[in-house]
Every structure is written in C-alpha cells, then in structure tokens.
Structure 1
C-alpha cells in the first residue's frame, strides 16, 4: 500500500515552539563542534577582541569554552543575546551591507538549544553577569566575577539531540577540525592573538596552537602570521600579491608552481576577512595556475579579497562559507591577472624545497668506522687492503689524459666569467640530459629537456599573442590515419590549430594531411605531434575556453620542439640555454609544474662532506 492508497486526514498546521525552531536552526548552523567554535570565535572578533582563548575537551564534544577581551555585555543584554534573531551587528535595513562575521542572531540560541550553555560577560564600567541555559531552558541572570570581556562555555554538545552525536567523528578528527577553523580565522585576523588549548585531561591542559597579536604594517603582520601557520617554507616559496581594480582589492601570498601539493588542502581564501570555501574562487585560482601545473597538482595560496559589502552576497549559505559576487567576471579577471603577473615577476625562480629534497637524497658513502693507531691491536685487528701507492710525479700527465678522454664537452675559455649570472656558467653535461653550472655561491643542476620545453612554450605563446604562431610548410605533407572520432575532434578544432601553427586538411576516409607545423618546433614527427594534440584535446574536453585549449595544445607541442634527453650540447649552447632561462618568466618549472633546475649552495654542499 502506498501513501496515495491510504485515507489521510487533513493535517493541522501548528506553530513550532522556540526550542524546536532553535534546534532546527542548530542543524543548519552547527554541524559539529568545529562549527560551534567558529560561531563563538567570530562573535568574539565582532566584539573587538584582541586576544581569544579557546579550550576544548574530547574534540569539543564535552566542552567548548571561548574567552575574549572584547567589549562585553551588560546583565540586561544577556537574555536578549540568547533570543532568536537578536543581534547588535545589523539593523535590518540592508541585508547586503554586512560588515561583521555574524548577522543573523542564530548562533547563541541555537547552541543553547542543543547543549548546556553558560554566558558570562562584563561591559566596560559595568558589573559581571552570568546566564545559563540547558537544552533551551534558561535560568535567571545572576552576578558573576569577571574582569572584562566575555566567556562562553558550552558543555555536552547535542545532549538534547542525541541522534546528532552518532554522526560525530572521533575525538581526534573533531579536534583537528577545530584546529583548522582557528588557523583560518587567525590568518584572517593577524592583529588578534589566538590560543587553542586541549583540556581533555583536566587541569591547565596543553596548548595546541598559539599566536600573539601582530604589530606594525599589515603585510608584515600577515606574512608573520602565515609563516607561523603554514611554515617558513611557504614564506620562502611564495610571491606577494597586491592588486586593485575598480574598488576590489586583492592581497596575500601565492606559492610558486614548484611548491605545489597533491591536494587542494593548502588553499585559503577570504572575502572581507571571512574564510570561505567557494567553488568559484577555487576554480579561478586553479585557472590562474593553468599554465604552470599539471592537472594532478594544486597551488598553495592565502588570498584576501576586500570589496564593498554591497557588491557581494554573504547570505548564500547558512554556514556563510559561500559567497556570490555581483561582478563575477571582474573578480575572476582581477585574481587571474594578479596571480599571473606576480608569478611572471618571479622569473626563473624555483622553490627552495626542491633543493632541500635534493640534499636529502644524497647519502654519505658507507665507510668503515674510523680507527686510530693507539686503538689497534696487532693480534686481533683484521688487516685492511693496502692503500694504493701515491702516484709518481710523472703520472699527472697520464691522469690528465684520462680526463681528456672522458665523455664530457670540452669547455672553451670564456671571454668574461659568467658565474655572476643567477644561473651561473655551464661547466659540464651529465648523462646527456643534465647541465652542471657554477654560480658565485654554489652550483646549479638543470634538466635540459624540461627547461627548453618551457622556453619553447613561452616563445609559442608570445607568437600567438602577437600575430599567431609562425608556421613552416612541409615539403611533402604527412598523411595520418585516424579513427572517426579523432578525425571529427581534430576537424572541429581546425581553425584554432591553424592559429597555433598546425595546419591540417581532410584527406579522404579517416585520414588528414599535415601541411604545416609550428616553425619553432623545427624538424618534428607530424604523426606523433598530431597524436599528442589529440590526447590534449581529449583531456580538456569541452570544459576549457578556446584560449585555454590552444595554450594546452601549445604546451604539448613544445615538448616536441625542445632539446631532447640524450642530446650532447656544446658549452656555448648550454650557456645560451641558461641565459634564456634567466630572461624567460616561469622558467623555473616545466609546463607540468616540475622543477627545471636545482640550486645547491656551497654551504649546503660543504655540510654533505662535514666541512662546516
């Protein structure tokens, strides 16, 4: 029997009581302990706090306590603060002119309806007061001892709605979520001190996270705070972002492409100081790095967008993690252009963690333990193989002849030393793929294929933006057989490919004739090039714009025109490659985000040999 087969009496419409209403609101606003912490700390920030301390027990399930030094409240304010839709942050005239974290007046009554909440506060010049609420039932306001500010204590979260408890994760996972919330808020407010403490074991507990209020200029305080939260590596491998367009301002730091991650967990975005997880902004950030990272790598960034509150709707989602911009394209263009400009100014710079990883890969040789004459026992000590005799004075010429016959490019004397250049002077080529260069402070190891691939790609892009990629006609067009689907895909992109310097024509059946290829690629295998272009078009599908598709195809083409692994290079060729890398933006990484060179400083090399 279905619900339509039964005789259903007309249901009565009833007004829900305040407790039920607040519990429903709590389901939207408070999903887990971290949500409660977020709401309470945002209230403290709206109250003008300069220091906020957060204590929690058992992942916030049994205790959440937020203490601040903000403006506080009077005894008369406390019952009103726990009333639904009562707030001091909005007068109700304009829901689009929101200049605070909270504005709905839902957090405190919602929390009081699903837990045991105690609110103690003292306004300047007034007396301290406390109000306790358990499962929505309030006690009378009573006097309390408090020097200043507000203390909100929430115990036994969801005790009034026990079904919600079953959906909470482990104490450790909930504590991790609380830490993530506090760190995001600490990034947004560098001038405020935060202290996060786990008091699960009772007593004073232990500090999980603590930062002092920043001082001085905002960017300096922001950098110090980001370094404290994201680590010193981020500060060393990030570029400063500062741009403004039509009243919208973008600030922050963005990581170099070689300082990327395998997941988008290190992307922190803020709109008017509010941490957000907006799909549009994440997509724009991804698009800004489209040229520099492969699809399985994600940039690291902390970006702050500030604009008139009336140009953004922050009332889209109950948790206020999503926003809607009135001028979406303006915001998109600002972020992409600012990031690409900053990354271009970084030039050939690569991230320092690449060098650290290289140093970590070195291992000292497995030598026997040191032994001294006084420690040896002639009766028990094993005999070591005799050391080779020192070379005769006349054997130096023989040794030099051996090195002369080595498979290394002979270096011609330089007209002037090139070690003062950022990437130094080429000294050798190893395994026909790696260039060793000497700088004033150390050495550089370059992957010649990856480096030249980026250089060719940048040349192709410059040509495309100027007048289209110069094409070179093939003496005899190359005929390539394709499947029907591949043929249709290529022909649909025929005009765009022509702009990129690849001219094709249908040749009957399932074949195409390749008549012209980009001139910068030189002598290439047209069939292989066409297959790579097809792979790129297949990967992109219809998701990218025409320009994104063209640039992706150019990136794949550049691989064919670059110096191949296994090719021997003369010293002047190697130095020319180094000089072009220094003059080309983004040459610190290949088209897929991998580093093109590793820099090892002399001090680091000396540590490997225990010389420091």
Structure 2
C-alpha cells in the first residue's frame, strides 16, 4: 500500500482515538447495555432460538413447538406446556440478570439448569419486538407483556393454556448494521434446525415439533434415547453405530458412536453433551479423534451422540456467554476416560441398533409363497436391515466350523497366511477344531462371517452366512489382522524374530547405513536384525515372524526411512502406529494371490476374533454384507 494511502487510513483512526480519550467516563444507557450483551448472546436467529428452547426445557415442559418464519428472521415462536410464569414475575423475566435458577455463589458452582445467567430474554428483547405470554396452572388466565427497544408494556390478560409462549419478531429491526450480517432465509433456517436437533437429542423425554413457513419439518414424540437418536440422525447412523455405556468413579459416558463406515466429510454429526448441555470442547474433541485415529481416514470425521454425566461442581459452564464452552476440573483424567471408553467400544464393534446381531444364532429362514427364503427379524436384537449393504460390525466370539468340509483348516494354513508358529495357534485351533461325535449330531452354528464360497478376481473373498452374502477385501482384512498382532506383540515385548534362511542384501546410501548402525536396538525391538554388509550395502538377517513372507528389502527400506525421518524414539512412541501400519501393509496378502477355500476360511475366522477387523489400518471397510432381502430387491423377486 502506498504511503499516502496508509496515512489516509491512520489519520481518521487517530482522530477517533483522541476524541475517545478526551470524553469523560459515563454510564451506558440500559438499552445500549442490553444491545451489547445481545451481540454476545444473539448472533443470529438460531442463537435466540437456543435460549428460548432452554427456558422451555428448564420450565419442565413435556411438549415444545417451534414456529419459524423466514428462517427465524421474521418470527420465532416457542410454545411449551411447562410450569409457566406468574403475573408478578413476567416483567422480571425480561429484566437483565433476573433469574429463578440461581441465587448464591454456591448455586453458580453447581449449575444444573441450562439457562442461569438471566440475560437471554432481555438481550433478545433489546434487538427485536418480543412478546411473552404465560400462565401457571393455578391462574385463571394467562398474562402477556410486550417489549420493544427497551420499553415494556404493562401485563394484560390473554387466553392461553398452561405454559409459556415467547414470540420474537423482526430480529435486529433497530440495529440494521447487524441485520446485514444475516444470511439467506435457507441458511438461517438450517442453523435454527441444527439448534433444534441439539436440544431434541439432549431431552428425548420431551416431544418437539418444528414448523417453518407453516410447514411441519420435524415432529418428534417423546421416546427413549436410542429411538430419538434414530429419529434425528436417521436409521443409517443408528444401524452403523456402537452403544457406549462406561462408568468410572463419578464419570459416566453413554450414547452412540458411529463405526468408521459412517464417517463424514465434516463435523455435521457430532453431538457431545455434558450434564445435558451441548458443548464443543477441544479436550473432548482430541480424545475422540485419538480414539478413532486407528480406524478412520485423516480427512474424515467421526459421528457420535454422546452424553457425559459428572458432578456439577466438576465442570464450569459459566466460561462463555453462549455456554457452549466449559472448563473441567480434572481435564487429564477426563481425556483418558473418554478416549478409553470410545476405543474399547470401537474395538468390540457391537452394533447399537441390534446388539450383537451378527452373533445371533436364533434367526431362522422361512420359505415364503415365492419359494425363496426371507430372514425373520430378530426383535430382541433389532436385526432389521434397511436396503443397503452393511459393513464392519461383528461379535468377537469363537466359532467352531461345521462339517463338512472345507471349514476346518490345518495349522499349516495359518502358518502360511499369518506367519505364526504352530505353538501360537491355541486360540485359533479352538476355532478350527472339528466337532466331536456328540456335536456332529447338532445343527452347526454359522459364524458371523460365514463360510467362503470362492474368490473374485484374486481380490475379494465371497462368503455366505445366515443372512446373505459377504464380500471381503482380503488384503485390507489381512492388513488389519497383522497390524493388531504387531501392536499387541510390541506392547507386550513379545515381537518374535524370524531368521531368514537366506539373508537379504541391498544397496543403501550412507544415511541408511548410519541409521541401521545407530538404531540397532530399536530395530531389534521392532523385530529386525539389519547390519552393515559393506560400505554400500546392508543385510537383513531377521524380520518379525508375522512378516516373514513380505518383500524383505522393501520392508527394511521403509522402516529405515521412517526411523531416519522421525528418529527412533518418535517412531516407537508417537508414530508407532503409523510405522506398524506400514509394516503390516507389506506383510498382507496381495491382490491376485489365489487362496484356497481353507485359507479363505482361516482369514474369516481370524477376523472374527480380532478387534477393529471391520476396517483396515486406513479406515476403509474390510467387508460388506448384502442380505437376502437386499438380493431379492435387486432381482425384483416377488413382484
């Protein structure tokens, strides 16, 4: 910018500052104070709607109706059947810092209501035309007051059932500069709808109705939390999420967290409530992100509806005018609690909407009048499907393969496929043992991932179970299995080495050679023995047992590259999972590798007893299931 132009900007600012310094200090008018407060509390129509809804919830309403016109800019009307306000208290309800919810400092430190600052309605009234009508059950009729630009009308009688109705007309009519910052009607409505959803999720025991321009957009009956979550976020979220319910000391976390298959491109499906209050907190966000890190793409976001319950004195909700931010007394312990609760649930992978649906053995097929087979709905588990392939959920349970035939796998197949010795197959052998004579007489239980039918293009395993067809990405699945084995072995310091019958040598630059020489202990901890063969060559003498069938040279190069770039200490701590993921990718079976039926079944059985087997190390799904009902639809059977 030119010097003249810069001076043209600075001079008016300097003159304004000098004028401010010369003015005497004076009290601001009440209306201006309220309008300033409104700038903090009422950012847009959705902000006003939030405050009005919270008042209705705090009033004990069982049913709340919201009516919007022009996205809430022209009108927001909130009607509830709560306890109501007496005639004497109605004017106070619109006064600044007047509230019935706290009276002492101790009350402020143990806030249990949503609203408590006593400024919301006063701030809204300062920037709109507001009408408040209310009636308590013992009153003969309701009373109404109107507020505009700080002026309050005397109470007058009005016909109204028990409860309260608040109407906000023409937001920012007296502050046109603020009104210019409002967006289009559609945009403002979307913000209002999001606010409505947050409040509705927090209180499933309350019925909610949302109307916009005379059209009902949402009607939610009082329900249990799971039904409310499904009603607000849809069946897809409900069917691809896991239930959370963990408790430790005075903390309880419950709700639903979506599996990685339901990941989003934005944070539009993230709802976290602390003692019933929707919050956005960096500590919580980080804990949740860490819990999903192992199963989610870096550019994707998890979806969840979670409720944290804790003692009121352990959280400060009075750190932000809109109360969307909170402060915790023991943030470190809370971070660990949230992280472990979500990590545990994702590892187990139990679907929220149907319990361990894949482990239910009491579903039966009944022939219908079309001669085909339909799956009976297991009402107890809620095992209904909604017309699209389902992915990545299973029960971690050992299954015994039935006879016949190719479901029983010799230990040699496991050794070839997973790179483990015979004495390490005790748990797998439990899965693989053929039924005893007494068991053969019984109907065999079909495992969650069924039994392999064949291989498609050397990439996918096709399998069938009680519900239909499963398609498994064999490389992605095997990669996850190896990754979990490597993690567990490294954590338990049991990462065994496999000496190579013929050591692998390769040319290396001086940095790689120095890296190998200086980090031999770290490499040994990772299961590698790499040493100098000549001034320009390295030799790999041992690799982790699970990776003995990998491309040894390429694997060694990548491990050395990671250690060289980030350092051995970081590679074994903060970047440990990334390094192990790279190693697992090298060891996983490749595309176009033809597997036998026993090998395919071995892979399926191993998936069933491995945590997070529904996603590969990069967050992609490892399998999909298509139910018989879905197949019937595809082929239009019965039409």
Query: Is the TM-score greater than 0.5?
Result: yes
Instruction: State the match for 1:159 in structure 2.
Output: 173
Counterpart-to-counterpart distance in 2, 1:482 and 1:468: 31
Counterpart-to-counterpart distance in 2, 1:343 and 1:603: 27
Counterpart-to-counterpart distance in 1, 2:491 and 2:334: 23
Instruction: State the match for 1:557 in structure 2.
Output: 583
Q: Does structure 1 conserve the Cα–Cα contact (< 8 Å) formed by 2:479 and 2:587?
A: yes
Q: Does structure 2 conserve the Cα–Cα contact (< 8 Å) formed by 1:70 and 1:150?
A: yes
Whether 2:218 is the aligned partner of 1:209: answer yes
Q: Secondary structure at the residue paired with 2:472?
A: strand
Counterpart-to-counterpart distance in 2, 1:102 and 1:571: 63
Instruction: State the match for 2:135 in structure 1.
Output: 122
Q: Does structure 2 conserve the Cα–Cα contact (< 8 Å) formed by 1:258 and 1:595?
A: yes
Match of 2:72 among 50, 56, 60: 60
Match of 2:148 among 125, 129, 134: 134
Q: Secondary structure at the residue paired with 2:68?
A: strand
Instruction: State the match for 1:97 in structure 2.
Output: 110
Instruction: State the match for 1:456 in structure 2.
Output: 482
Counterpart-to-counterpart distance in 1, 2:541 and 2:357: 38
Counterpart-to-counterpart distance in 1, 2:517 and 2:45: 55
- 5+ long unaligned stretches in structure 2: 1-6, 359-382, 391-404, 409-433, 436-442
Alignment of 1:353-502 (within 5 A): 420-473=446-499, 476=503, 478=505, 481=508, 498-502=524-528
For 1:179-230, what per-residue CA distance to the aligned partner results, in whole angstroms no more than 9, with x for missing partners? 111111100000001111113xxxxx1111110122xxxxxx0001001111
Q: Does structure 2 conserve the Cα–Cα contact (< 8 Å) formed by 1:419 and 1:425?
A: no
Instruction: State the match for 1:388 in structure 2.
Output: none
For 1:229-270, what per-residue CA distance to the aligned partner results, in whole angstroms no more than 9, with x for missing partners? 111122221111001111011010111222222222111111
For 1:478-522, what per-residue CA distance to the aligned partner results, in whole angstroms no more than 9, with x for missing partners? 4564697x9999999886665333466799999977665322111
Q: Secondary structure at the residue paired with 1:528?
A: helix
Counterpart-to-counterpart distance in 1, 2:596 and 2:321: 64
- Aligned pairs, how many? 549
Task: Please report how far the alpha carbon of residue 539 of structure 1 lies from its aligned counterpart in structure 2 after TM superposition.
Answer: 11
- Structure 1 residues 482 and 93, CA gap change in structure 2 (3 angstroms): farther
Counterpart-to-counterpart distance in 1, 2:350 and 2:154: 66
Whether 2:318 is the aligned partner of 1:318: answer no
TM-score (norm 1): 0.82
Instruction: State the match for 1:37 in structure 2.
Output: 49
Query: Which segment is superposed worse, 40-49 or 594-603?
Result: 594-603
Instruction: State the match for 1:365 in structure 2.
Output: none
For 1:70-98, what per-residue CA distance to the aligned partner results, in whole angstroms no more than 9, with x for missing partners? 11111211121111111111113233211
Instruction: State the match for 1:567 in structure 2.
Output: 593
Instruction: State the match for 2:551 in structure 1.
Output: 525
Counterpart-to-counterpart distance in 2, 1:489 and 1:81: 71
Q: Secondary structure at the residue paired with 1:258?
A: helix
Instruction: State the match for 1:395 in structure 2.
Output: none
Match of 1:301 among 304, 307, 314: 304
Query: Which segment is superposed worse, 269-278 or 5-14?
Result: 5-14
Whether 2:233 is the aligned partner of 1:230: answer yes
Q: Does structure 1 conserve the Cα–Cα contact (< 8 Å) formed by 2:505 and 2:537?
A: no
Task: Please report how far the alpha carbon of residue 350 of structure 1 lies from its aligned counterpart in structure 2 after TM superposition.
Answer: 11
- Structure 1 residues 495 and 260, CA gap change in structure 2 (3 angstroms): farther
Instruction: State the match for 2:184 in structure 1.
Output: 170
- 5+ long unaligned stretches in structure 1: 200-204, 215-220, 360-410
Q: Does structure 2 conserve the Cα–Cα contact (< 8 Å) formed by 1:122 and 1:150?
A: yes
Query: Which segment is superposed worse, 495-504 or 455-464?
Result: 495-504
Whether 2:78 is the aligned partner of 1:78: answer no
Q: Does structure 2 conserve the Cα–Cα contact (< 8 Å) formed by 1:58 and 1:175?
A: yes
Instruction: State the match for 2:62 in structure 1.
Output: 50
For 1:422-463, what per-residue CA distance to the aligned partner results, in whole angstroms no more than 9, with x for missing partners? 222222122112222232332222211111111111111121
Q: Does structure 1 conserve the Cα–Cα contact (< 8 Å) formed by 2:62 and 2:206?
A: yes
Counterpart-to-counterpart distance in 2, 1:489 and 1:261: 40
- Structure 1 residues 82 and 54, CA gap change in structure 2 (3 angstroms): same
Instruction: State the match for 2:426 in structure 1.
Output: none
Instruction: State the match for 1:285 in structure 2.
Output: 288
Match of 2:158 among 144, 167, 178: 144
